[in-house]
Structure 1
Amino acid sequence: MERLFELFYSRRTNGHGVGLYLCKENLAVAHHKIRYSSEGDKKLIEEGANFIISFNGMEIH
């Protein structure tokens, strides 16, 4: 799943493979992270892609 964030990687017919790459790079500037969620993660949406964004310095209680 890590390939999802590589520049120019896309499985979509008309995809360019830039969107998720830019998202990850922009978040990384402030030391935030994005990843594809797995079956072991809580609160998954039933349909579609599921991503988890971890914001540096934030705690959720």
Structure 2
Amino acid sequence: MILHHKTDVMKAGEDIVYIVITSGHRKELFPALNEVIRAYKSRSSNLEKGIHGKRRILGS
């Protein structure tokens, strides 16, 4: 699994996060992907709250 979060200055609409997961079967892949996204959102929200003093819901 690879998760890359860009931290440079970005333009609106640019990709911020790339997630790569390989699996032999989709049945194994999607639960793992959901767990990675859930953990990423939790960590990103906490980091952003610490940096900006407020919380933003990712994906909205």
Pick the TM interval, shorter chain.
Answer: 0.3 to 0.5
Which structure carries more relative contact order (alpha carbon 8 Å, separation 6+)?
1
Larger Rg: 2
Name the structure where helix makes up a greater proportion of residues.
2
- Scaled by the length of structure 2, what TM-score is found? 0.34
